[in-house]
Structure 1
Amino acid sequence: MYIILGYTNELSECLQRREQDILNAISLVNVAKKKMQELRSDGWDNFLERVTSFCDKHGVDVPAMDGDYVPYGKSTRKARARKQTNDDHFRREVYIGVIDQISQELDNRFDEINMELLSCMATFNPSNSFEYFDAKKLRRLAEFYPKDFSNNNLLRFELQLDNYIDDMRQDDRFKGLENIVDLSVKLVQTRRHKVYDMVYELLKLLFVTLLD
């Protein structure tokens, strides 16, 4: 469990950070999904070797993988009646079972819609003079909140974005920002949150979504 879950540790830590590093989160989600598939398809031998080495080091008996699996508290006769080897149990039911549960959780939490949402969120990232800015994706992001952005508001929002990005890139006070938390704070400090009220409203909605 420690080894398998260790491959999702960076993603878990990234999602728990205050600044919510969305760009890295998107990458780590894809890495975690890919790693689970690799472990499932051809990771068992290496995994078993590492576990066996650990057990040998700490004096823990390791059953022969081709031997009959005997559930704790069950008789050998009943175990043989099931005709299940240790390999069947530990590889298929335990190892692959855990991987499938993690993969299912990743798919449920980061489905196609949620990945699109994260991708759109990333365009708010202010680092490197707002190099990830994408007006089309931010409009798409606003469409995820129809109660707050009607069709008329979306048109106004698009026009506001044009002024917003030009203003941000030419104002030295917005240089060196690294994440959307820093951006939201700076918008308030400079009172730009009132000038670009719809941009700021979308930022607030994002924080609600990220904390949900």
Structure 2
Amino acid sequence: MLSSIVTFVGSSSKRANLLKEIQEAEIAESSADGNLETGKVLNQIRSLKRAGMTRWGSHFASVNNLVHMFKEVSQLLQNMMIDKELAGSIRGDAKGFLKSLKAFDFVFCLLLTNKIMGITDLLSQALQRQSQDIVNAMNLVSSTKTLLQELREHGWINFFQSVQQFGDDQGLDMPNMDAPYSMGTGRENFYPEEFDTSEVRALKLQLEHYKCQVVSDKDFQELSSLAQVCRRLVETGLEKKFPLVDMLIRLVLTLPVSTTTTERAFSAMKIIKTRLRNKMEDEFLSGCMMLHIEKEYVDDIDSEAVIDHFESTGDHRAQFR
């Protein structure tokens, strides 16, 4: 998606000039407000860069530039989306790219890629030199591995906070990760509102006893899954002793089942509603998705019967036979 956005924005000199004008206006406004540090080599006008096929450093430059120009690129796509002088297909592409650009998953992957590539950039540059300093290269390998391990083990919270801050600065809709998760399974719905304060306190107490009694119980040793734990609770009769813990485990086990339909729907949407089909109406999209998701039922539909029914509804400009 990043490559497509860069290609779309940079496909004409007019768009490149418009992007430059937006950057200049942004720099002038920030400087007038006193929110921008000024000085030599500061506040340079950037341009989006396409990643080369053989130069790893060009990928980092492409990602890094989009991070720094995120607001300006968003503004350009917004302007193109409402520009009546542009062809409808171009406005539609601009709308689709803007939607993708502001999506949380895109922003998250963009910043994570930028973070990782920033850590590995020095090593990448060193390995591309014709004259290799083996000692320096090995030291860079060691320091790069250390920094990546630190990011993995201790840097996740700070990184995610930076993602949230970036989203707030750009005015994006960021998900609230502290919000309780709700789900439905069959006829039963499990929401936080259905558990009163006393049940929450009782659950905490049961978990404390569960930790002391069950974890050290020999009957629960060498169990490798929650399903086995749930089954063993029933076999030993402990599900009656810890009913809320048992319910909690069952909720976790049913979560994948309850989200399967939703995940299939989103997967189908990504396949059906591509960038070239982003103007598809909701009713038509819903029908296409239903046919894609429920393939096992669609196989039993007689196409000839559908055609006969369609032709019987009235005259049409196109004949099917």
TM-score by length of 2: 0.26
Higher relative contact order (CA 8 A, sep 6+): 1
TM-score by length of 1: 0.36
> Higher Cα Rg: structure 1 or 2?
2
